[in-house]
Amino acid sequence: MSAEIVLAAKGPPRKRTNDPEGLRNKVLDVAEASFQARGYHASALGEMMATAGVSGGALHHHFSTKKALTLAVIEERVAGAVEDTWIAPVQGANSAREGVRAVFEAVAAELEQQGFVRGCPLNNLAHELSLADPDFRLALAGIFAGWRQAIADKVRADQQAGREQGTDPERFAALAIAAYSGAMSMAKAAQDASVLRDCLAELEGSSTPPFPSRAKRRSRILLRPGKP
C-alpha cells in the first residue's frame, strides 16, 4: 500500500503592510486633537503614541522630537484648518465682507450645534507657544500673516471692481482676524458662541443683529464635552 503525501498548497507570499504616510497622518491626527483638547504642555508623547497605536521607533522615524511633531501639526494641520475655514471661503465669496460674514455665521452655527467650544486651533497654540520657542512663534506668525494677506487681497480685488474704495485692505483684514480670534477666546471661556454674532454685527457696521429672523436672540450657554 503506497502512502500519498499531500502537501498543503502554498499561496502567494504575504506582503507586509507598510503605510508610512498613513501612520504619519494618524500620529498628526492624534497630536492635533490632543493639543486642542489638552494643550501642548499637557500632551505627553507616550500617551499620544498609545492613542495612535504606534511604537516609539515608528514615531521617531517620522518625528524625532515632540517639537518636530508640533511644528508639523502647525504647518500642516493648523495651517490647513485656516485655509479651509477662512481663506478658501473668503476667496470664493462675492466680496471680502460677504466672505467674512459667511465664516462667522458658519462657525457660530457649528459651535452651537456641537455644544461646546474648544477655541480656534491657531489661537490656542499661539497663546501657549509663541513665547515658549522662537520656531513655534515664527510658524504661527506665518499662518496669521498668510490669513491676513488673503483677506487683504480679496479687499483689493473688490476695490478693482469699484467696491470698498474707502477701506484699507490690511487694516480690514487685521480687524476681521482680531475680532474672530478674540471672539473665539471669549466663546471658549464662557462656552457661549453668541459673541461671534455680536462681533459680526459690529464688523458689518450695523446696530441690528445680522440675523433678522431671530428677533430676540437668547444667550446660549454651551455644554462642556461629555456633559449631558
CA distance 123 to 180: 10
- Per-residue confidence band for 219, with pLDDT thresholds at 50, 70 and 90: very low
Percent of the chain with pLDDT over 70: 82
Rounded to the nearest integer, the mean pLDDT of the chain is 85
Do 18-64 and 74-228 agree at the fold level? no
Range with the poorest average pLDDT among 20-24, 87-91, 108-112, 149-153: 20-24
Segments making up each domain of the chain, as ranges: 18-64, 74-228
CA distance 191 to 201: 20
Is residue 58 a contact partner of residue 24, using CB atoms and an 8 Å limit?
Answer: no
Class of domain 18-64: mainly alpha
Q: What is the pTM of this model?
A: 0.81
Q: What is the pLDDT of residue 202?
A: 87
> What count of other Cβ atoms lies within 10 Å of the Cβ of residue 50?
11
Q: What is the pLDDT of residue 6?
A: 39
Higher per-residue pLDDT: 140 or 1: 140
- Per-residue confidence band for 94, with pLDDT thresholds at 50, 70 and 90: very high
Class of domain 74-228: mainly alpha
CA distance 108 to 26: 28
